Copies of this chain bind each other. A is one copy, B any other.
């Protein structure tokens, strides 16, 4: 068994990193790079790129810009849930709008995959839910954690790139109106929960 010392040859890791880095830069530049382009930018041959990623989708998914931000709340977060949510949603939507092109690309790639491949792609699971849950933290005193989680999911589903692109493309709302409507929807879901109609949780009983 040849060279295994210290975690085997790190050539693979270096090549993989080069590919991801190159692809990331191209994606950040606003384009959807060809596998050939990404390979060239990484100074690697095209077959090699395919040795690391089964297809373009997987490569570009791995190149999806990583957001390391762990919280969207301001330095001195308000105690009021509604205000906390407003702050988080404001920042989150801003984030989405700023990277709209990439968000659309990733959404399109994710939709192109069949169910089996979707499960394999670790991407498309952003940090939005945990961000929103952090905003909803004050609710944990009065509501079950599962209910809060479900509410966070509902809020994310009205505030993501999917809803935004529909509001823009189909409903043909101006960008600022779309953002405003999303904020209203998010607050309305919270209001309904606070008013005593929390999102349903658990198995259907009917």
Which A residues lie at the B interface, using CB under 8 A?
Answer: 104, 107-108, 110-112, 118, 124-126, 129, 150, 153-154, 156-158, 160, 162-163, 165-167, 169-171, 173, 176-177, 180-182, 184-185, 187-189, 191-193, 195, 197, 199-200, 204
Contacts and interface: CB of A to CB of B under 8 A. Distances in A.
Contacts of A111: 104, 107-108, 111, 165
28 contacts: A108-B108, A111-B111, A124-B169, A125-B170, A126-B170, A150-B181, A153-B167, A153-B171, A154-B158, A154-B184, A154-B185, A157-B163, A157-B166, A158-B158, A158-B163, A162-B162, A177-B204, A180-B204, A181-B199, A184-B199, A184-B200, A185-B185, A187-B192, A188-B189, A188-B192, A188-B197, A189-B189, A191-B192
Copies in the complex: 2
Given A171-B156, A184-B199, A195-B195, A163 B165 contact: no
